[in-house]
Amino acid sequence: MPGLKLHVEVEKLPLSAPFRISGFVFEQQDVVVATLEDGKHRGRGEASGVYYLGDTAPTMVAEIEAARAAIERGVDRTALQGLLPRGGARNAVDCALWELDAQRRGEPVWKLAGLPAPKPLITTFTLGADDPAVMAAGARKYAQARSLKLKLTGELAVDIERVKAVRTARPEVWMGVDANQGYGIDALDALLGVLVSANVSLLEQPLKRGREADLAGFKSPIPIAADESVLSLKDVAGLVGRFNVVNIKLDKCGGLTEGLAMAREARRLGLGVMVGNMVGTSLAMAPAFVLGQLCDVVDLDGPIFLAKDRTPSMTYTDGHAWSGEQVWGGTGA
């Protein structure tokens, strides 16, 4: 690949309101945007990193800058996998390379990835952990939503009330819950009993990362998804017999290249596939939207939590997310 010019920028994205999950409250998202140019074509990638691994904007910038010389000499997507570790830094550069290649070859990213033309995807709309009445009101506010995801905190009594309140408010929608590592194995049966009664279809990451073995042999009446427990391709095989679904996030695995490989490996192993996000603008969601074409569950609502998104942006209509080629990944024609 010919020489490239790399530009790296940190952007601070205020949220429209504080967002709470188990153990954290977010009011702003810092993202790193990598841009690659060859004098004629341009590729962009946005990354938020992985907060619970210390993968922050400063660390991402430092990793990219350490590899700047190799990147600007003309790295390709395959070589990048060995140049940078999994995480936000590689995600930003990998996505920039995908878009750059799309412009150079005159073919959109979805076609380069060997996928059929993309379709709108039903996405979850996420409710941050809050008072049950507030979450119920939020569920009603998401009037277009066909799919909701509730954040839980590991406080069993209040989590039960949260689930019940949202299900009462929206009896017709698909519903999943995300415990964000808030539970221990001893409390799972009590939680699952309520989830089954409320017709919840997915329980995401109930146990702490590192406690995956506790789920070996555990019989859950609903599918359990791994999020924090699966960071990259090498983690996927170890989920068999413990989890049912793999939640792939490009910030965790280091970009669309590895995300596609993870989805295909999960399918080979008989696991369901989900795509999620770490919150960001439409520039971050667009590559994940490509991956979402291979997924059973899609959680790409990140831009709706921001005070302001990029233009052009993804659209959300009748519960579906759509990312056109003008957002990211088109030919630039």
Q: Is 252 among the residues known to form the active site?
A: no
Using CA atoms, how far apart are residues 330 and 107, in angstroms rounded to an integer? 7
Residue length of the chain: 333
Burial 287-322 (b: 16+ CB within 10 A, else e): bbbbbbbbbbbbbbbbbbbbeebbeebbebeebbbe
Instruction: Choose the catalytic residue: 40, 149, 151, 208.
Output: 151
Selection from 246, 316, 303, 314 nearest residue 31 by Cα: 303
Q: Taking a C-beta distance cutoff of 8 angstroms, is the pair 291, 256 a contact? A: yes
User: Hey, what amino acid is at 75?
Assistant: V
Instruction: Based on the residue annotation, tell me whether 40 is a catalytic residue of this protein.
Output: no
* 73, two tokens: 């000499």
What is the C-alpha separation between 250 and 231, in angstroms, rounded?
9
Q: Which of 149, 249, 252, 308 is catalytic?
A: 249
Q: Which residue is listed with tokens 């810092």?
A: 30
321 contacts: CB under 8 Å, gap ≥ 6: 120, 121, 122, 123, 285, 289, 292, 298, 300, 301, 314, 315
For 92, the token pair is 């930003």
Residue type, 111: K
- The catalytic residues are 151, 249
